Amino acid sequence: MASSSAIRGTRVGSGPARPLERCEPAPRRTVTYWCANGHSVDRPMAVDATPPATWDCPRCGLPAGRDAQNPPGRPRTEPYKSHLAYVKERRSDADGAAILAEALAKLRQRRGEL
């Protein structure tokens, strides 16, 4: 006895068998972006959609803009900062000393040293 499968002849993730009979595609237009390396990227978008200001270039990964004569520059990469570096940006040395003194006073009070 052969087993039967309800999804025989189709693949996983496939769409409807006849999409043109079931729906009408949205009207589209092509939007072109240029990166700093001179690559052009053509992206089809819906006519009523607002295109984004930048798009990542699939060839080099740089941001691409809609102006061919003035493409966006390379993004500035931030160096790695430790947790201590971020804390030092928010607090001055005097603030740190005051917080440390307050914490030590609470600790000594709990221990009964005062």
Q: What is the DSSP letter of 92?
A: -
- Return d(Cα 98, Cα 92) in angstroms, integer: 10
36 near 74, Cβ under 8 Å?
A: yes
Q: Which two tokens mark 61?
A: 């990964």
Question: Is 39 buried (19+), middle (13-18) or exposed (0-12) by CB count in 10 A?
Answer: middle
pLDDT band, very low/low/confident/very high, at 40 (cuts 50, 70, 90): very high
pLDDT band, very low/low/confident/very high, at 13 (cuts 50, 70, 90): low
Annotated domain spans of the chain: 25-65, 78-114
Question: Is 30 buried (19+), middle (13-18) or exposed (0-12) by CB count in 10 A?
Answer: exposed
**Across the chain, what does the average pLDDT equal?**
85
54 near 64, Cβ under 8 Å?
A: yes
pLDDT band, very low/low/confident/very high, at 36 (cuts 50, 70, 90): very high
Write down the number of H helices and E strands in the chain. Answer: 3, 4
pLDDT band, very low/low/confident/very high, at 5 (cuts 50, 70, 90): low
pLDDT band, very low/low/confident/very high, at 98 (cuts 50, 70, 90): very high
Tens digits of residue pLDDT in 66-91: 998 999 988 888 889 999 889 889 98
CATH of span 25-65: 2.20.28.270
Question: What sign does the dihedral 39-40-43-48 (CA atoms) show?
Answer: positive
